[in-house]
Structure 1
Amino acid sequence: MHLFTTNLALNAGAGFLVGDMIFSLVMFIILLALLRKFAWGPLMNMMKEREDHIANEIDTAEKNRQDAERMTKEAQEELKNARQDAQTIIEDAKKAGKEQQQEIVEQARAESERIKESARQDIENEKEKAIQALQDKVASLSVHIASKVIEKELTEQDQEKLINEYIQELGEER
């Protein structure tokens, strides 16, 4: 009997433990089912949403990086074109400046030649006028001297005196 009582005591002690264990196991399974239904599903959904959100952010960041690279390349190309355009404009301006300089120099030379020619013509005209005036004076003086000579017979001294008087008159008229 002792064996039976020991066995019963062990079973009772073990039964209590086995029952507690079975109860704990059932409760754990129920708790797992509840956790799975109410916590694990939403947690996994939240993790999936977070994963999707991060993937979208990575995709957006990659797209933005590619756009930035493209825009950088376009900006560099536009800057290169702008520099080429600026260089072309500078070269054209230099060329136009040189052409304008040559035109100005040619115009100045032409104007200078025109002024010189005009001055030569003016000098020539004045010279001809002076010669004409001198010829008129000489003719007038010759006629005047001739009329005086005809009026009287002059000695050599009188002729010299008369010539000197007319030369003096001529000098006073100037």
Structure 2
Amino acid sequence: MEGSEPEVLTSSLVLGAATKHEFINTGDIIFQLIMFIILMALLKKFAWGPLMGIMKEREAHVANEITAAENSRQEAKKLLEEQRTLLKEARTDAQGLIESAKKQGDLQREEIITTARSEAERIKESAKLEIEQQKEKAVTAIREQVAQLSVLIASKVIEKELSAADQEKLINDYIQEAGEGR
């Protein structure tokens, strides 16, 4: 039973406390209310004011960041348009250069063809002239040989009187000798 005594004491204290607080203490409530109002005033002055200042600074900072990001986006968009314009101009210039190179190549090709044709014509004319000269030399050489043969035949004929068959044989022999000597 000794163990039950502390329980009795504890329960009587709890009951005594419950009966003690059955009435409302207005002085404590007013004191706590005044303390709460003082605490709120202090919080407003020392915590809420600076906290709101920090929040306003943060809000201004975020707004500035949003503005800066928007400006950067606009700047990037502007630069992108400029780059597209420059790229388009570069393509146009490149196309112009290609066309110019094609035209220059065509002109050079035509010039080379014209030069080659004129050179071929000159070589052809030169070859014709050389052929003509060689032909004249050959004709001159044949005339000289014919003249020599004629003189030789005439001298042979004069030296000896020949019959028609002998003359024919003699002419054929000399012609054959002339052909072999050539």
TM-score range, shorter chain: 0.7 to 0.9
For residues 110 and 155 of structure 1, the distance between their equivalents in structure 2, rounded to whole angstroms, comes to 62
Which segment drifts farther, 120-129 or 147-156?
Answer: 147-156
Unpaired runs of at least 5, structure 1? 1-12
SS of equivalent residue, structure 1 residue 127: helix
What amino acid is the match of 1:39?
A
Identify the residue that residue 83 of structure 2 maps to in structure 1: 75
For residues 49 and 163 of structure 2, the distance between their equivalents in structure 1, rounded to whole angstroms, comes to 161
For residues 99 and 26 of structure 1, the distance between their equivalents in structure 2, rounded to whole angstroms, comes to 105
Which segment drifts farther, 76-85 or 32-41?
Answer: 32-41
2:162 paired with 1:162: no
Query: Cα deviations across residues 121-168 of structure 1 (Å, max 9, x unaligned)?
Result: 121011011101101101111111122122222222221121011011
Deviation at 1:23, TM superposition (A): 0.9
SS of equivalent residue, structure 2 residue 122: helix
Query: Cα deviations across residues 60-80 of structure 1 (Å, max 9, x unaligned)?
Result: 101101111110110111011
Give the RMSD, CA atoms, in angstroms. 1.5
Identify the residue that residue 32 of structure 1 maps to in structure 2: 40
Q: What is the aligned counterpart of 1:123 among 86, 110, 131?
A: 131
Aligned residues: 160
For residues 172 and 89 of structure 2, the distance between their equivalents in structure 1, rounded to whole angstroms, comes to 92
TM-score after normalising by structure 2: 0.82
SS of equivalent residue, structure 2 residue 161: coil
Identify the residue that residue 54 of structure 1 maps to in structure 2: 62
For residues 74 and 124 of structure 2, the distance between their equivalents in structure 1, rounded to whole angstroms, comes to 74
**Which 4+ stretches in 1 moved above 6 angstroms?**
none
Which segment drifts farther, 132-141 or 147-156?
Answer: 147-156
2:93 paired with 1:85: yes
Deviation at 1:82, TM superposition (A): 0.8
Deviation at 1:37, TM superposition (A): 2.4
For residues 79 and 150 of structure 2, the distance between their equivalents in structure 1, rounded to whole angstroms, comes to 103
SS of equivalent residue, structure 2 residue 162: coil
Identify the residue that residue 9 of structure 2 maps to in structure 1: none
What amino acid is the match of 2:52?
M
Q: What is the aligned counterpart of 1:134 among 142, 146, 149?
A: 142
Identify the residue that residue 10 of structure 1 maps to in structure 2: none
Identify the residue that residue 103 of structure 1 maps to in structure 2: 111
Identity of aligned residues (%): 62
For residues 172 and 86 of structure 1, the distance between their equivalents in structure 2, rounded to whole angstroms, comes to 74
For residues 89 and 135 of structure 2, the distance between their equivalents in structure 1, rounded to whole angstroms, comes to 68
TM-score after normalising by structure 1: 0.85
